[in-house]
Amino acid sequence: MLDRSTAQKARDHVLDAIQHINCSLQLVEGQLPDAAFQKMKRAAGLAIGGLDVDYLCRIFELFPDLDDVEERAGSITSAEKDSGESR
């Protein structure tokens, strides 16, 4: 059975992966034809959705208290604002 500590680490890795996917889109935005960027954006959205529905939700079913994504997302946004980055 999955223990809470391992679940928390797995959750954090997946959330970091989602952030990296978003950052990769920011890097290429405006540097590709719009049609190509839209396809990449859709692929990223499907990947993020799959990670949320098929991965994170399983963790949150076992450990509901780990479902603090909104709090974590707020802290990421605050850190980005402090560093001058934006989502």
Domain spans of the chain? 4-83
Q: Is the pLDDT score of 73 beyond 60?
A: no
Per-residue confidence band for 68, with pLDDT thresholds at 50, 70 and 90 = confident
Q: Can you tell me the mean pLDDT for 1-5?
A: 96
- The rounded distance, in Å, linking the Cα atoms of 48 and 52 is 6
pLDDT reported for residue 5: 98
Q: Is the pLDDT score of 62 beyond 90?
A: yes
Contact 40, 32 (CB under 8 A): yes
Q: Is the pLDDT score of 80 beyond 90?
A: no
3-state secondary structure at position 21? helix
Q: What is the pLDDT of residues 36-46, one digit of tens each?
A: 999 999 999 99
